[in-house]
Structure 1
Amino acid sequence: METATAAQRRTPRPRADALRNRERIVAAAREMFVEFGPDVPLDEVARRAGVGNATVYRHFADRSELVHQVVLLVTDRVSAHAEEAITAADADPSVAFDALRRFVHASADERIGALCPMLQAAFDPDHPDLVDARERLEAVVDGLMQRARAAGQLRTDIAVGDLMVALSQLTRPLPGTACLNMDRFVHRHLQLFLDGLMAPARSELPGASATLEDLRQS
């Protein structure tokens, strides 16, 4: 019986140039989905990536598969920012909220809000890859918030869902090309929002704090 190792040796690895092309396509798709939405023509994605149309379809069978990879890319990058912030908070708990602040601004640069229209596209949101990425993101953001809360720097009536809703809304592209100039206000408005998260709280929030499970059920 052939061993797994032997089978792996028989399976050709993707060439380095093929991997680079795939990465360029996903990066270009992310940029164009942010600018124009997930229905942008794939021919335009190929042009932005500097590859031929056939190369796009060689790597991605259809639009939903490409959207899937873009969602994974953004989610994983945001999780990595949260993990870096946790490392900083663990090294010095007194800067836990500053670490949270840096995470939020870094996530804004990833344009996490652009995922919202993508998630309405025709692809499986319960695919194991996406579930794993989502659970990793939830866990690390919650861990980061717990550290800021334990340091007495984050108000106690805020949950992960509250943070992610605000981050998604403030970084979601506005319809119309004329609205692209609004991007320059994103970090300014995020800073105002973050100031409102600091402890001690200056007002009582209406309703209950939102978890990501609450958001999925709504």
Structure 2
Amino acid sequence: MRADAVRNRERIVTQAVRLFAERGPDVPMCEIADAAGLGVGTLYRHFPDRRALALEIGIGALRDLAEFARAAREREESAWAELLAVIRHCATLPLALAKSLTALLPEDEEGAQAELEHTVDTLLADLVARAQREGTLRGDVPAAEVQQLLSTVICRPGARPDDYLTVVMLDGLRA
């Protein structure tokens, strides 16, 4: 893809995330194109419909999270520090928006997203298991329940690493 096409696609996605977060998933596509400073034709060349745009947002957020989680494993001293880094990073991603947008997709269009969700789930399961083995994360809470709790708390609108729900969750999980 040409450099200008890549930039246009990024502008579309950035503005779509902003507008969807501000006004919901029914923002007209022409307003997204206007906000990106592009024509509607350019938007539709990249994303033939709203579902394609929603899928791109969801896949982009999951891909970013997976890459960050892999890098955090190399960078952090402990699994607990790694978990905190991942949670902080999640607050920078449109995970709640991506989750709500892609929930509208038909099941047959979720292939790439489902694969990335599985990758992220696997990375988180490994992280939880390592934190439990090192004794920094409670061992009496099943890993699957920890993952569900993390997903619920960090994939909600307005989630931040320092908000009271996240802090209480982490305090309760800390060994």
Other-structure match for 1:151 = 134
SS in 2 for 1:109: coil
RMSD after superposition: 2.1
Other-structure match for 1:4 = none
Other-structure match for 2:61 = 74
Paired residue type of 1:140 = L
Paired residue type of 1:72 = I
Q: Deviations over 1:7-42 (max 9, x none)?
A: xxxxxxx22111211122122212222222222111
Query: For 1:164, which of 139, 147, 151 is the aligned residue?
Result: 151
Q: Deviations over 1:26-65 (max 9, x none)?
A: 2221222222222211122112222111110111111111
Gaps of 5+ in 2: none
Other-structure match for 1:175 = none
Is 1:132 the equivalent of 2:105?
no
Q: How does 1:53-72 map to 2 (within 5 A)?
A: 53-72=40-59
Q: Deviations over 1:123-179 (max 9, x none)?
A: 4465321122111111111121122111100112043222212222xx32xxxxxxx
Q: Give % identity.
A: 29
Structure with the greater alpha carbon radius of gyration? 1
Q: Deviations over 1:71-100 (max 9, x none)?
A: 1011111212222222234xx3xx321220
Q: Is the 8 A contact 2:91 2:160 kept in 1?
A: no
Q: TM-score scaled to structure 2, two decimals?
A: 0.86
Q: Is the 8 A contact 2:59 2:113 kept in 1?
A: yes
Gaps of 5+ in 1: 1-13, 173-182, 200-218
Rounded to whole Å, the distance in 2 between the matches of 1:184 and 1:71 is: 17
Q: How does 1:88-99 map to 2 (within 5 A)?
A: 88-89=75-76, 92=77, 95-99=78-82
Query: For 1:100, which of 83, 105, 110 is the aligned residue?
Result: 83
Q: Is the 8 A contact 2:17 2:94 kept in 1?
A: no
Q: TM-score scaled to structure 1, two decimals?
A: 0.70
Q: Number of residues paired by the alignment?
A: 170
- Deviation of 1:68 (Å): 0.8
Rounded to whole Å, the distance in 1 between the matches of 2:148 and 2:108 is: 18
Q: Is the 8 A contact 2:153 2:159 kept in 1?
A: no
